[in-house]
C-alpha cells in the first residue's frame, strides 16, 4: 500500500517536533497503522537550513498554499498558529478534500463551528488533540474514553506559563512581575505575555473542553476570563495558612440553570492532587457521573509532547480515512443533530465560594460590622483569619472564606463592605473551588 502523504504547514518548534517524531518512530507507527506515513511537502514562510526533513522525499516551499493545493497530500497538518492565515489555509485544505490536523486552539475555539461544518460537508476529519493541554490525550479521553458518562464538570490547569509563574511566586516568594521576567528569560513566556497570563489561551482550551463535555457549540466569546497578574505573594501565604493553593483554573460545570465557563485564579484545597501540579505542567480533572473524578497530567507544551498529540491525530486519521462518516467519532464528540443549546451562564450567575481580603481598622466592633454586612447580603462566612497589625499600624488584614453563594450577591456585599468607614480600599476577591 502506498505511503499516506502528509503536508506540513509550519516548521517551528511543533512542526520540527512532529517531523522528528514521525521520522524517529516511523517503524513503530507503521506497525500500528499498517501503512507508512510520509511528509511529502512542508512549508514555512522562511526556510532555514534544517536537518529533520529528507529533501529526497519532502518538497520544501515558502508558499503555504502550495501544501494545501498539492493533489498528492492526503492530510494537512497546520502548525503555524494564529487564526487568520491558518483559517484560510485550513478552509482551503477542506475544500480540496484533505483531512486536517491542527494544534491551534484559537482556530478551533473561535472558528470551530465554520470549520467543522465545512469538514462535515466534505466528509473529512479535523483533529485537534494538540490544541488542549499539549501532550495529554484529553480530547480522546473525553470524546471516547468517557463517552459512557454524563460529564458533570471539568477543572484544568491548562496554561503552563501561568502555572510556572504561580509556582515560582509561591516557592520563592517573588512578585508576579519578577517571575514573569524570569519566565520570559527561560523562554516559557512570550515577549507579549497577555494570552498566557490573562487567561485567553486557557479560555480557548476551555471552550473546546466544554463543547466536547456537554455537546454544545464552541462559544469562546462567552467564556469569562480573568488573569493572574493581580495575584500577590501575600494572598498566596494567607491561602496556604487556610490550607489552600492558588491555581489558574479553567472550570466548566453543568448546572440546572446552564453551563459555567470560566477561567480565573482559584483557591483549591492543598490536599487535592491537582493543587500539587507545579511548574509548566498541565492537569485536567474530569468528573463523570459513572466514573467519578479522573485526573490527566502531563506536559502542556514543548516540541515532542505536542508532536505526540499531533502524530496521534495523524495516526487516527489514517486508520479511519476510508471509513464512512457514520463509522467515525464525531468531531466534537456528539452527533451534529444532537448538539444542545444549553445556555452559558453569565459570571454574575455562577455559584461558588470566595476568599476575601480587606484592610480594616483595628478597633472593637469592626469584625462584627463586616460580618453583619455580609449577613445582610445573605453571605455565610466559613472561616476568618485576622493578622496582627504591624508595629505602629492601626489597620489589620482581615481574610474571610465564604460558603457557596451567587456571584451577584457577593459583588453587592463587597460593595457594601468597601463603603464601610472602617474598611480601607478595595476588597481582594479570589474564587474558591473544593473540587470534591
- Catalytic (active-site) positions: 205
Residues pairing with 153 in the sheet: 253, 287
167 lies in the site for ligand HSE, by CB under 6 A: no
Min dist CB 304 to ligand HSE, Å, is: 14
Query: 254 or 262: whose CB is closer to ligand HSE?
Result: 262
CB of 341 to ligand HSE, least distance (A): 29
For ligand HSE, which is the closer residue by CB, 65 or 297?
297
Q: CB of 42: closest distance to ligand HSE in angstroms?
A: 21
429 C-beta neighbours (distance < 10 Å), count: 17
Determine the Cα–Cα distance for residues 254 and 219; give it in Å rounded to an integer: 15
Stretch that binds ligand HSE, among 49-57, 117-125, 153-161, 315-323 (CB under 6 A): 153-161
Q: Convert residues 329-358 into a mask of x (bound to ligand HSE by CB under 6 A) and - (unbound).
A: ------------------------------
Sheet containing strand 99-102, strands side by side: 59-61, 37-43, 4-9, 75-78, 99-102, 126-127
User: How many whole angstroms separate alpha carbon 86 and alpha carbon 140?
Assistant: 23
Whether the Cβ atoms of residue 238 and residue 403 lie closer than 8 Å to each other: no
Q: Does 227 bind ligand HSE (CB under 6 A)?
A: no
Place of cell 502523504: 5
Q: How far lies 302's CA from each of 12, 91, 280, in Å? A: 11, 27, 10
Q: By C-beta, is 227 or 300 nearer to ligand HSE?
A: 300
- Nearest approach, Cβ of residue 294 and ligand HSE (Å): 21
Cell 490573562, located at residue: 198
Q: What are phi and psi of 267, to 5 degrees?
A: -80, 130
Closest approach of ligand HSE to the CB of residue 159, in Å: 4
Rounded Cα distance, 400 and 134, in Å? 37
DSSP 232-256: -HHHHHHHHHTTEEEEEEEEEEE-S
Give alpha helix (H) positions in 123-232: 138-140, 160-172, 176-185, 194-197, 200-214
Binding of ligand HSE at residue 161 (CB under 6 A)? yes
Burial class from Cβ neighbours inside 10 Å (0-12, 13-18, 19+) for residue 363 reads: exposed
Q: Which is nearer to ligand HSE, 199 or 333 (CB)?
A: 199
- All three cell numbers of 5: 502523504
Confirm or reject binding of residue 300 to ligand HSE (CB under 6 A): yes
129 belongs to the binding site for ligand HSE (CB under 6 A) = no
# residues contacting ligand HSE (CB under 6 A): 7
Nearer to ligand HSE, 228 or 259 (CB): 228
Please, which of residues 183-212 interact with ligand HSE by CB under 6 A? Answer: 196, 201
Query: Binding pattern to ligand HSE, positions 85-124, x when CB under 6 A?
Result: ----------------------------------------
Least separation in angstroms between CB 196 and ligand HSE: 5
Binding site for ligand HSE (CB under 6 A): 159-161, 196, 201, 300-301
Amino acid at each position: 500500500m502506498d505511503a499516506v502523504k502528509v503536508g506540513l504547514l509550519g516548521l517551528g518548534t511543533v512542526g520540527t517536533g512532529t517531523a522528528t517524531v514521525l521520522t524517529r518512530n516511523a517503524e513503530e507507527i507503521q506497525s500500528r497503522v499498517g501503512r507508512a506515513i510520509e511528509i511529502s511537502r512542508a512549508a514555512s514562510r522562511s526556510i532555514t537550513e534544517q536537518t529533520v526533513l529528507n529533501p529526497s522525499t519532502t518538497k520544501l516551499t515558502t508558499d503555504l498554499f502550495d501544501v494545501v493545493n498539492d493533489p498528492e497530500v492526503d492530510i494537512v497538518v497546520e502548525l503555524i498558529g494564529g487564526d487568520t492565515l491558518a483559517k484560510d489555509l485550513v478552509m482551503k485544505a477542506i475544500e480540496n478534500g484533505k483531512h486536517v490536523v491542527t494544534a491551534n486552539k484559537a482556530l478551533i475555539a473561535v472558528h470551530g463551528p465554520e470549520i467543522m461544518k465545512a469538514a462535515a460537508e466534505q466528509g473529512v476529519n479535523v483533529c485537534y488533540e494538540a490544541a488542549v493541554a499539549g501532550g495529554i490525550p484529553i480530547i480522546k479521553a473525553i470524546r471516547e474514553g468517557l463517552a459512557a458518562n454524563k460529564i458533570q464538570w471539568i477543572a484544568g490547569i491548562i496554561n503552563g506559563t501561568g502555572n510556572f509563574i504561580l509556582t515560582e511566586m509561591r516557592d520563592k516568594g517573588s512578585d508576579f512581575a519578577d517571575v514573569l521576567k524570569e519566565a520570559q528569560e527561560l523562554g516559557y513566556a512570550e515577549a507579549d505575555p497577555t494570552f498566557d497570563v490573562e487567561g485567553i489561551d486557557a479560555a480557548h482550551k476551555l471552550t473546546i473542553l466544554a463543547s466536547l463535555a456537554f455537546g454544545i457549540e464552541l462559544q469562546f466569546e462567552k467564556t469569562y476570563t480573568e488573569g493572574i497578574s493581580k495575584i500577590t505573594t501575600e494572598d498566596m501565604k494567607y491561602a496556604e495558612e487556610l490550607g489552600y493553593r492558588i491555581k489558574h483554573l479553567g472550570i466548566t460545570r453543568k448546572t440546572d440553570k446552564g453551563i459555567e465557563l470560566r477561567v480565573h485564579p482559584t483557591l483549591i484545597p492543598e490536599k487535592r492532587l491537582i493543587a500539587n501540579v507545579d511548574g509548566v505542567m498541565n492537569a485536567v480533572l474530569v468528573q463523570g457521573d459513572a466514573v467519578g473524578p479522573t485526573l490527566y497530567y502531563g506536559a502542556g507544551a514543548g516540541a515532542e509532547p505536542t508532536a505526540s498529540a499531533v502524530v496521534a491525530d495523524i495516526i487516527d486519521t489514517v486508520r479511519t480515512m476510508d471509513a464512512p462518516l457514520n463509522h467515525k467519532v464525531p468531531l466534537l464528540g456528539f452527533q451534529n443533530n444532537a448538539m444542545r443549546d444549553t445556555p452559558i451562564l453569565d459570571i454574575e450567575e455562577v455559584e461558588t465560594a470566595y476568599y476575601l481580603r480587606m484592610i480594616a481598622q483595628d478597633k472593637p466592633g469592626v469584625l462584627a460590622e463586616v460580618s453583619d454586612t455580609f449577613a445582610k447580603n445573605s453571605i455565610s462566612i466559613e472561616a476568618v483569619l485576622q493578622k496582627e497589625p504591624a508595629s505602629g499600624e492601626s489597620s489589620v488584614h482581615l481574610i474571610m472564606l465564604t460558603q457557596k453563594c451567587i456571584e451577584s450577591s457577593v459583588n453587592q456585599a463587597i460593595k457594601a463592605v468597601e463603603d464601610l468607614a472602617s474598611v480601607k480600599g478595595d476588597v481582594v476577591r479570589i474564587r474558591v473551588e473544593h473540587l470534591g
